[in-house]
Amino acid sequence: MTALKAEVEVHSRIAEVGREAWDRCAAAWPANPFVAFDFLDIVEESGCATARTGWAPRHLSIKDEAGVVAAVMPLYAKSHSQGEYVFDHGWADAYERAGGRYYPKLVCASPFSPATGPRFLVRPDVDRDIGRRMLLRGAVELCARLRASGVGVNFPLDDEWRFMGGEGLLLRQNQQYHWLNASYASFEDFLAQLSSGRRKTIRRERREATADLEIIRLTGAEITEDHWDAFFAFYMDTGARKWGRPYLNRLFFSLLGERMSDNVLLVMARRDGRWIAGALNLIGGDCLFGRNWGCLEEVPFLHFELCYYQAIEYAIERGLPRVEAGAQGQHKISRGYLPTAVYSAHFIADPALRAPVARFLEEERRAVQGEMDWLAEEYSPFRKVAS
């Protein structure tokens, strides 16, 4: 295995690391677009993830003895807890009421993306545990230098989560709703595995959603700036109604189309030549990641059609093993998206905060797992198999 230098470098732009060096480290996970250089550079270049927006890049890198980048970590100094989808506002409020300073904090994540993926990107010829340990220790040392309250690692892989637990970080579990492809030949093949009532409901929802509408899937060079104009209008309308200020700007979508169009699936709805709704997905090597949705006209069940059913059809056609439909939403269960564990891990610098958070997380993990088991048992739309 290639030996590493002891120093961990900190970068205020991912461009300082460079595409070739970054993507060499990400090469072990080609399936995940959210840790690719282009995606992380786009959120910076567009101005979405910058110090001004409370996402100051502090990416880490480690070089081998030949001076070549061998491991990297996407890391940000945060001045708030927005856009993370791992909710620690209660911790922040309690700590600050007690006289502490919760911000800044450090967050290892792909900004605005509640998608599970690798967080310690170690070149394939480097010992993975050594690289992970050095990156994690580098983040903790940077936390001390910045006098930050802690380090959060959001939506890591399962084995990374367990590794961090072994390194003393506090472990948190939450849930999302994912669809798994059981080698279905078609959407009808998938429906055949559901209960009779659910099959009828989904067929009815699809008929009503698409009546008088044209549904179009676009990817790669098919996506034009006109499509992005339309989608951005949908995104802004939904974002303004949900959380007040959407995280992504118009330039982000242009750059995404310019640099990652082959990883983009836009599902758009049109009535009489006018775009009225759309859903944005990113295509990974083993997953379709549902990201954003919006509409200018309320149509019953159209959200389910564009975000869930079209995604399932696309995954079946492409042979993708799963669809991650984003954060929250128990209504996804009846559409075939079952409760799935997602994770985060937390280093908290002040023992006065760390101890109560540790107790809270232990209770929360049990509650989350219990709810997942109950939801899957009580609300699964799949036919019961006799034992």
C-alpha 169/C-alpha 85 separation (Å) is 19
State how far Cα 222 lies from the chain centre.
25
Nearest by Cα to 246 from 232, 261, 256, 230: 232
Task: Over range 208-212, report the average pLDDT.
Answer: 96
The single-letter DSSP state of residue 167 is T
C-alpha 156/C-alpha 108 separation (Å) is 9
| Torsion sign (Cα): 76, 77, 80, 86 | positive
Are the C-beta atoms of 302 and 246 separated by less than 8 Å?
no
Residues near 111 by Cβ (< 8 Å), separated by ≥ 6?
40, 43, 48, 49, 55, 76, 83, 247
Q: 162 with 249, same domain? A: no
Higher-confidence residue of 184 and 241: namely 184
Q: 306 with 230, same domain? A: yes
Q: 20 with 167, same domain? A: yes
3-state secondary structure 130-170: HHHHHHHHHHHHHHHHHCCCEEEEECCCHHHHHHHHHCCCE
Q: Is position 270 within any domain?
A: yes
pLDDT at 307: 96
The single-letter DSSP state of residue 132 is H
Q: Is position 283 within any domain?
A: yes
Place of tokens 């559409």: 335
- What is the chain's percent helix, strand, coil content, to nearest 5? 45, 25, 30
pTM of the shown model: 0.95
Where does the pLDDT of residue 246 fall: very low under 50, low under 70, confident under 90, or very high at 90 and above? confident
pLDDT in tens, 157-194: 999 999 999 999 999 999 999 999 999 999 999 999 99
Q: Which domain holds residue 220?
A: 182-320
Q: 148 with 63, same domain? A: yes
Q: Is position 333 within any domain?
A: no
